[in-house]
């Protein structure tokens, strides 16, 4: 499990609570998941079977190189689990081309949809791994064998299972959001985020406000700024919201009170 922010830590905690044997690899906040260090860790321990990381770390505004990390994982015969909550439709993400095995996102970020549902995707290797599980999952709700049987019938599951009641209204909303992405074009959406990011950075530079993340790792859709010395974090955010209807987020975790 690679940790370079709040959500890498949360992914790790979820895995531990699910009973996984977890090895963690930690990186400085504001930096990417370093492929060289991942390569070194996997080479040193051939018992590792999965590599998990956050593609776009919301708490820091950092983009990690998912393509390279997935290549390294395959080289060491590891499946990959990727958090794409903030990256889907915001930056380049090629699930099949990069060979991502399990990936999840959220609807409330770059899809501009209602919160509460999580798009997921599994490779054939990941599905085979799930289907070959010998022990019953401790969680009914998160039992992917049952969920897959609910999604569709298959040779392994000829009778479709009833697992949950789908959030129909939210799914209609997601359908509309995906239509909007299709109409704009996915690569055009990536370019739009990059264009607006560059304009924002130029304006902030004039104001003397610095970004925390080095340019090569920055997310265009989520920018983390250093709060200038002597500036009252809460007062600025309150003024922007009340006077200009502009809401900016406070820093999370290690960035609390020193980042926007």
Closest C-alpha to 78, from 30, 46, 111: 46
Work out the mean pLDDT of the chain and round it to a whole number: 96
The C-alpha R_g of the chain, in whole angstroms, comes to 20
State what percent of residues in the chain have pLDDT above 70: 99
> What pLDDT shows up at residue 160?
85
For 10, counting Cβ atoms within 10 Å of its Cβ (0-12 exposed, 13-18 middle, 19+ buried), the class is: middle
> What pLDDT shows up at residue 187?
98
> What pLDDT shows up at residue 163?
92
Same fold, 2-134 and 190-255: no
> What pLDDT shows up at residue 74?
98
Top CATH class of 190-255 equals: alpha beta
Residue that is written with structure tokens 């560059």 in the block: 198
- For domain 2-134, which architecture applies? 3-Layer(aba) Sandwich (3.40)
Taking 90 as the threshold, does the pLDDT of residue 158 lie above it? no
136's CB contacts (< 8 A; 6+ apart) are 143
* Alpha-carbon torsion angle 234, 240, 246, 251, nearest 10: -20
Tell me what the mean pLDDT of segment 206-227 comes to. 97
User: pLDDT of 122-137, one tens digit each?
Assistant: 999 999 999 999 888 8
What residue spans define the domains of the chain? 2-134, 190-255
Taking 90 as the threshold, does the pLDDT of residue 249 lie above it? yes
> What pLDDT shows up at residue 33?
99
> What pLDDT shows up at residue 91?
99
User: pLDDT of 23-65, one tens digit each?
Assistant: 999 999 999 999 999 999 999 999 999 999 999 999 999 999 9
Taking 80 as the threshold, does the pLDDT of residue 156 lie above it? no
User: pLDDT of 223-237, one tens digit each?
Assistant: 999 999 999 999 999
Q: Is the separation of the CB atoms in 84 and 63 below 8 Å?
A: no
173's CB contacts (< 8 A; 6+ apart) are 107, 113, 114
**pTM: predicted TM-score of the whole model, two decimal places:** 0.95
């Amino acid at each position: 499990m690679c940790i370079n922010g709040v959500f890498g830590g949360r992914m790790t905690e979820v895995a531990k609570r699910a009973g996984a044997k977890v090895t963690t690899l930690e990186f400085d906040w504001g930096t990417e998941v370093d492929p060289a260090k991942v390569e070194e860790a996997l080479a040193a321990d051939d018992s590792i079977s999965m590599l998990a990381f956050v593609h776009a770390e919301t708490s820091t505004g950092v983009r990690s190189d998912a393509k390279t990390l997935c290549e390294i994982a395959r080289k060491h015969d590891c499946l990959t689990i990727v958090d794409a909550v903030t990256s889907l439709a915001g930056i380049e993400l090629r699930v099949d081309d990069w060979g991502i095995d399990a990936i999840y996102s959220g609807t409330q970020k770059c899809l501009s949809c209602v919160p509460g549902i999580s798009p997921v995707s599994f490779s054939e290797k990941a599905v085979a791994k799930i289907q070959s599980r010998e022990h019953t999952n401790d969680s009914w709700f998160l039992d992917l064998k049952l969920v897959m049987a609910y999604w569709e019938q298959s040779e392994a599951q000829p009778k479709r299972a009833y697992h949950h009641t789908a959030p129909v209204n939210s799914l209609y909303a997601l359908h509309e959001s995906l239509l909007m992405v299709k109409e704009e074009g996915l690569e055009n959406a990536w370019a739009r985020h990059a264009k607006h990011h560059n304009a924002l950075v130029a304006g902030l530079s004039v104001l003397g406000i610095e970004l925390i993340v080095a340019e090569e790792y920055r997310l265009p859709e989520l920018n983390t700024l250093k709060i200038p010395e002597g500036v009252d974090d809460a007062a600025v955010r309150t003024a922007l919201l009340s006077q200009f209807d502009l809401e900016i987020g406070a820093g999370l975790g290690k960035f609390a009170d020193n980042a926007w």
